[in-house]
Homo-oligomer: A and B are copies of this chain.
Amino acid sequence: MARPRTVTRVHQAVLAMVGEIGFARLTMEGIATRAQVSKQTLYRSWPSPAAILFDALLASSSAPNGEIQVPDTGQLANDLEALLLATVAEMNDAAHDTMLRAVTAEIQTDPALATDLRTRLLDPQLRAVAARLAEAGVQDPAAITELLYGPMFHRWLLRTGPLDTDWAQAHLQRVLKAIDWSTSSP
């Protein structure tokens, strides 16, 4: 629908602005002005600042289809640790933190965005981790994935404690204890 030139300008504008003034002060009007684009053009393609931001994030991401790389060295514990530490690093990155909080808040209100986020980002990511677990012979891999990510999400979103390397490693040990193995020990 929208011309590539238009989309590019909007994405650049919204990414720059969210860094400068924060998500809460993003407005359709402001983005239109900054992107040198008319409000109508904005509304033709996106219903809200959150939708624009999400789109911009996906487009600028290295994996626009939401795929993530789960390391697979054969050593499950090592692989999961690498995965967790990468996620922790991402959550501690100011830009990512801001944007993920904004989108998380927004999906509480906006069902369309919620669906989008789930199908295009969240589900593929969780499924990839669960697949790695299943490959290693973990029983109920989806539940273990939840056990892995849930506490991290809780700690991060509600700021109940620091999200650092030490915590992540201790957390991983607890999760590993909870695993049921299909045939042999890990």
Interface residues of chain A, those whose CB is within 8 Å of chain B, are 23-24, 101-102, 104-109, 114, 118, 122-123, 126, 140, 143-144, 146-147, 149-155, 157-161, 170-171, 174-175, 177-178, 180
Contacts and interface: CB of A to CB of B under 8 A. Distances in A.
How many copies are assembled? 4
A113 to B, nearest CB: 12
Nearest to A173: B178
B149 A154 contact: yes
A160 B122 contact: yes
Contacts of A177: 177-178, 180
A154 B150 contact: yes
Contacts of A104: 105, 108, 157-158
